[in-house]
Amino acid sequence: MHSATSIDVPTGLLCAARQVLSPHCDARPPGAVPELLVVHGISLPPGEFGGPWIDRLFCGDLTAAADPRFDAVVSLKVSAHALIDRRGVISQYVPFQQRAWHAGVSRYEGREACNDFSIGIELEGTDELPYEAAQYQALAGLIRALRAAYPSLGADALVGHSDIAPGRKSDPGPAFQWERLRALLQAASGP
């Protein structure tokens, strides 16, 4: 029996998680492995939570007719490996060994094209509103499972979208408490 925070490495799927597979992904370049975790923040419509809109965006069937605020994003071909909603429920869109289209133009420690070597995790939220305790717990559990499944993920290779796309992206924003996440990760690793 697998928990929601264990990964079936051959398939790259999070066991017991909600699966909504996105067409917006492809193979990583030859020899590329997950080495970086990127935390994002997303809400659709902006500042609102719940509903089917993030699924639809990542699956390519979001329509502008649903909300005029979708005009700017309806044609985007984007995805993430996983989303953690406000209740802490994890949905997976892209198998972890595949390349999700989450980072866009990006750079980490001199390396361009972070999608090639990263895993993107979205949190349902905004830059300004506090994230929920359940999201931090789920994120910490997911990070532990990813690090166990993919030893190539370094313990310090954890960044926000804003860190790899400064000036272009601001998420997960100032409301995200990095110290809270690090404390949860540290507590789980023991003394």
* Residues recognised as catalytic: 122
- CA 117, distance to chain mean position in Å, is 13
Helix (H) / strand (E) containing 39: strand 36-42
For residues 88 and 135, the answer to whether their CB atoms sit within 8 Å is yes
3-state secondary structure of 92: strand
Question: Is the peptide bond prior to 172 cis by the omega test (within 30 degrees of 0)?
Answer: yes
For 21, 124, 180, 189, the CA distances from 183, given in Å and listed in that order, are 31, 21, 5, 10
